[in-house]
Amino acid sequence: MSNKSNQAKGFIKALPKNIFSGLVVSLIALPLGLGLAMASEAPPIAGVIAAIVGGVLVSILGGSNVTISGPGNGLVGVLLIAIATLGLNSAYAAIICSGLLLIVLGFLRLGKLANYFPSSAIQGMLAAIGLIILGKQFHIMLANKITRANSVDYLLEIPNTIKQVFLYTDSSLTYAAIAGVLSLAIMIFYPKIRNKYLQLIPAPMWIVLLSIGFSYYVELVLKTPNPIHPQYMISGIPSINEIVTQLPTPNFSNVFSWSFFSSVLALTLIASIESLLSIKAVDKLDPEKRRSNVNKDIKALGLATIVSGFLGGLNVVTVIARSSVNVNNGGTNRSANFFHALFLLLFIMLFSTQLTRIPLPALMAILVFTGYKLASPKKVISVFNIGKEQLIIFFTTLIVTLKIGLITGILAGVLVTLIIHFVISKNVGLFLKNILKPNVLMFKEEGGVGNYFVSVKHYCTFLNYTKLKQKLDEIPENKEVIVDFSLCEFVDHTVMENLHSYQELFQKKGGHFDVTGLDMHNADSAHPFALRRVLPVAKIFASNLTRRQNTLKALATDYKLVFNTKKVKNTSFLNDYNYFKTKKINFIYNQLSDNANELNVFDIEFSEGEFIAKEVVRSTMLQFNLEEQIPKFSIDKEGFLEKMQSFTVVHDIALKNHPDFSKRFLLTGVDEIEIKAFFNDDTVHFFESNPYYHVESKGNSVLIYQKERLASIKELKAMLNFGKQLKKQFSIVTKCTTF
Amino acid sequence: MKTNPFDNIGIGVTFSPNLNANLNAVARLCIKFNSKLTLIHVGEASDDKNEVFSNLLKPFLANGLQYKVVFKTGKPVDVILSVSKKNKVDLLVIGALKKENILKYYVGSIARKITRKAQCSVLLLINPTVAPSPCKHIVVNGLKSPKTHQAIESAFYVSHHLEAKKLTIVEEISQHQVHVNVEDDKSLRKSTIVKERIQLRENSRINKIIENIPTVYKSKSNFTTQSIFGKSGYSIGHYAQLVRADLLIMNAPNKTSFWDRVFPHDIEYILTELPTDVLIIR
């Protein structure tokens, strides 16, 4: 009972955070919902309905924690075809049926469906969906609406449309195109600007706000009609009353036709794959390191899809970009998803007329950006880096998906992967003979530490990966695991990639995940699927340091430090800092450290958010170790935003005799009494008389940084100096008092 | 427990290139276990054949080997089974075949039939050699079955006589026993607890069996228990292969039907890919 009431207390305490985060997510969900629905040729409101229904139902019934549900990118391609071939009302029937099928999958514990597909084929399929979205919406973004039979034709028309823009005689079309290009620019440049006030509103919402603002400015200040062509404005946003009274009637008359059946199948497949991939990615971002119940989530998504279909909405899936925005804004439980839906409902109730002031090209620019992100050249390069054969799988899936359809595309990808495996291993029998064998053995080594040992026999590819996954899922992530492939003759890229993500997961949750026994495979004709493919290409020129690196080198000799330019991927010493809980560290580089390795200055690259909300940040940080334990705390500059947050999200510890310090700095931490004792007069004066730094202590080690960008040499010197003095200060305090 | 469970060891012999190695291996075994050797040959009796056998076994006679040769014509499977029954053979030794080029062993069709139908214990040797090779590590199954008692007893007996350094009793825990599907943190915790409980229960069951084993057999070898998670019957082979065990001791299967071969389980798995020498106790 006390446990329950504790939970309730925690829930209520976390509520403000989640309401705030839900608000921010709804700001990105509104334009995306409208855009995704329009890209699928459904009424714009359908996307918002899906988000509202999904948010309410999945937050109540789902099994994941910080995910956001709503209309997904991946489904645009399928819905487009479904609506084109079946008509809108039959498409709603297909959506409802796919929801039913999803529930069935959930009950059969087949949430793992996506595990049966090679990851390069899934990548290829997602890229194809990206190209479908990009190809179609690019023309609308430039105010040149065209209709073509095939998604490839849309892509081929792109140069033509660009030419067309400069030939518009109708200035209203030119204005529409300008709105589109400006919006695209906002989407592209927004992640590059790190300003916390600007970042509070996601880029898509800026587009909405700016275009509505512009429309009012023209109407009220200039008193002229909107210069953008009325055909390129969003039309038909119904008010809430109309939505409720004019429910569509799903048409189930052609349930038994092939086109209906294939649409349902494709919708279900893509919905489950997209949701699963998103849940997996979001679980890695969860600051509380919880594990999602995939099957429960799939059931909830299925139910939400059915309800959404009846109300005239699209399929409901778990979406990655919105979920990552949720995590970054402090969402901690499912209530954030609920509030996101609530805020969306509020927007529709209050501002449905204002939404018609958004130019269509501006909204489509968001989708063009989304499509580009799905099919970006970076994706192709990363697939190529894994191996040439992965590129064959990728492009086969991509081209077949574009030319024929999603289901055929993914099947082609599976087939090509199989053939490639047969050719590379030169041993078809290995696959056929052992397909049904339970090839995975797991045991906990008796005595001692009790490591989990997992041994895999015969072969391990996408065909039988679930057997390995099932065993790995049974291991708590804070334990030590050794996965041994020495009895295994063939391991494919899909497995290696998944193991890599397990490795990350275990590292984040405090465990250890080791893969052994692949050395032989490498010796054997340089095995293409081995994880160690990430080794960088040898540099042609031995020394090609940048100017900054050269200066750092000089600085290192000056300060008697060791300078290392290499990218270091093992950043486990940064794992326990709160700051990195919702961030993914890519690597550290340009490391300056003293001989004893106690003081450490480095450049770091980390990323925040996923997919279109992804922001890659490079920054310079300083870290030092302490001999004595000090309390865990963090200090930040207290600005307006932090003041606001201190009401909702975090609790600022106030020091009694230092009101000025408390006003200027945001001091947070769990153990308030110890922290108060630690911050004696000297320490407070030290902080007050030095420039602002973000300082975080995790007990025996301290992290310092100033700005979320690389520091100049001067700033770096100052930081080094500050770090040294802070270390001295801390050791003085610990000598006087023990913690 | 009988004073000598392997009083009479039988082996089917043909004039193949393996004959010398097979005879050497089985003769060494007979001396270690202090048992009589029965050579079963499918075919007509002749002095030539007898001479070949006696030449090959001559070095062992000095160490006290007693052997006899039984000749009988007929179908190999029937002959070997009937002769071993008539002569009260306790342990039938069968040499496995080695697949060309690959380090994998499988049991030929005749040997398989014998393994399934034999009324006595069966030892499948994957790699009989002329020179003696030490037996360091023995793995034995600890399945929850009335036959396990006998298998573990025999394992201790064998490890005592072969002077094995290590004996591991493996309890196979299948997914059905755990009952909990891991889906989230809560079910993971639950399944971890259930597993630990099963492990404790299995360990105490095995320990009870071990308690009843004469201390003479327990003194020399170092025995441990190990729980593994996997498909029962298959995973123990996988485990034996992984830890490079020299001998795997298993319960005899319950009567197998046609369907057991189509959807293999337990012993059938082991027969398709022999991880090491296998002793099946009946």
Question: What SS3 string covers B200-253?
Answer: HHHHHHHHHHHHCCCHHHHHHCEEEEEEEECCCCCHHHHHHHHCCCCEEEEECC
Higher pLDDT: B167 or A97? It is: A97
**Same domain, yes or no: B106 and B189:** no
Which DSSP letter does residue A359 get?
B
Cβ <8 Å between B230 and A293: no
Whether residue B191 is found in the same domain as residue B60: no
> Domain check: are B55 and B85 in the same one?
yes
Question: Which of the pair, A125 or A300, is modelled with greater confidence?
Answer: A300
- Chain A hits for B269, CB-CB cut-off 8 Å, are 437
Name the range with the highest mean pLDDT among A113-117, A409-413, A594-598, B214-218. A409-413
Kindly state whether residues B160 and B190 are assigned to the same domain. Answer: yes
Q: List CB contacts of A326: < 8 A, sequence separation 6 or more.
A: A21, A22, A24, A25, A66, A67, A68, A336, A337, A340
pLDDT at A526 over 60: no
ipTM exceeding 0.85, yes/no? no
Would the CB atoms of B188 and A474 count as touching at under 8 Å?
Answer: yes
Mean pLDDT, rounded, for A154-176: 85
| B54 plus B98 within the same structural domain | yes
Predicted local distance difference test score (pLDDT) of residue B103: 46
Q: How far is CA A288 from CA A269, A333, A498, in A?
A: 30, 10, 21
Overall average pLDDT of the A150-159 stretch: 84
How far is A447 from chain B, CA to nearest CA, in Å? 9
Which has more confidence, A520 or B270? B270
Q: Show which of B101, B130, B159 is a domain's final residue.
A: B130
Q: Best residue in B167, B191, B229, B244 to probe A by mutation, most A CBs within 10 Å?
A: B229
> pLDDT tens for residues A660-702?
888 888 888 888 888 888 888 888 888 888 878 888 888 888 8
Three-state DSSP class for A150? coil
Q: Of A484, A473, A479, nearest to A451 (Cα)?
A: A479
Mutate to test the interface with A, among B175, B176, B238, B269 (most CBs of A within 10 A): B238
CB contact under 8 A, B241 and A487: yes
Q: Answer yes or no: do B99 and B154 share one domain.
A: no
Domain ranges, residue B158: 134-282
CATH code (residue B9): 3.40.50.620
Return the CATH superfamily for domain A433-534.
STAS domain (3.30.750.24)
Dig out the tokens for B159 from the structure.
Answer: 């490890």
- What is residue A307's predicted lDDT score, i.e. its pLDDT? 93
Average pLDDT over residues A430-455: 78
Check whether A404 has a pLDDT greater than 90: no
Tell me the mean pLDDT in the region A371-376: 84
Q: Which residue has the higher pLDDT, A6 or A400?
A: A400
What pTM did the predictor assign? 0.75
| Structure tokens, B117 | 């139908």
- The answer to whether the Cβ–Cβ distance between B224 and A446 falls below 8 Å is yes
* pLDDT tens per residue, range A648-664: 556 778 887 888 888 88
Tell me: do B175 and B223 sit in the same domain: yes
Question: Average pLDDT in the A372-387 region?
Answer: 82
pLDDT at A300: 93
Q: Which of B79, B107, B130 is a domain's end point? A: B130
Q: Are residues B142 and B280 in the same domain?
A: yes
**Contact (CB<8Å) A443/B226:** yes
CB contact under 8 Å between A295 and B183, yes or no, is: yes
Alpha-carbon gap, residue A441 to B269, rounded angstroms: 14
HSE-up of residue A432 (Cα within 13 Å, Cβ side): 6
Q: Is the CB of residue A655 less than 8 Å from the CB of residue A721?
A: no
Q: How confident is the model at residue A524 (pLDDT cuts 50, 70, 90)?
A: very low
- Residue A568 gets which letter from DSSP? B
If one counts the domains in chain B, the total is: 2
pLDDT (average), residues B192-221: 81
Q: State the count of interchain CB pairs (< 8 A) between A and B.
A: 67
B119 and B138 in a single domain? The answer is no
Chain A residues with CB under 8 Å of B228 CB are 441-443
Q: Which residue of A has its CA nearest to B235?
A: A441
Q: Which residues of B touch A466 (CB under 8 A)?
A: none
For range A257-273, the mean pLDDT: 88
Inter-chain contact B224–A447, Cβ cutoff 8 Å?
Answer: yes
Mean pLDDT of all residues in chain A?
81
Picking from B130, B163, B195, the residue at the C-terminal end of a domain is B130
Interval A606-615 mean pLDDT: 74
| Percent of chain A's residues with pLDDT above 70 | 92
Predicted pLDDT of residue A523: 33
Lowest mean pLDDT among A14-28, A199-213, B102-116, B184-198: B102-116
The two tokens of residue B180 are 């909990």
| Whether residue B15 is found in the same domain as residue B149 | no
Specify the pLDDT at position A319.
87
Residues B80 and B111 in one domain: yes
Please tell me the predicted confidence (pLDDT) of residue B258.
59
Q: Which of B106, B182, B189 to mutate to test the interface with A (most CBs of A within 10 A)?
A: B182
* B186 and B101 within one domain: no
Amino acid at residue number A653: I
Q: What are phi and psi of A228, to 5 degrees?
A: -85, 135
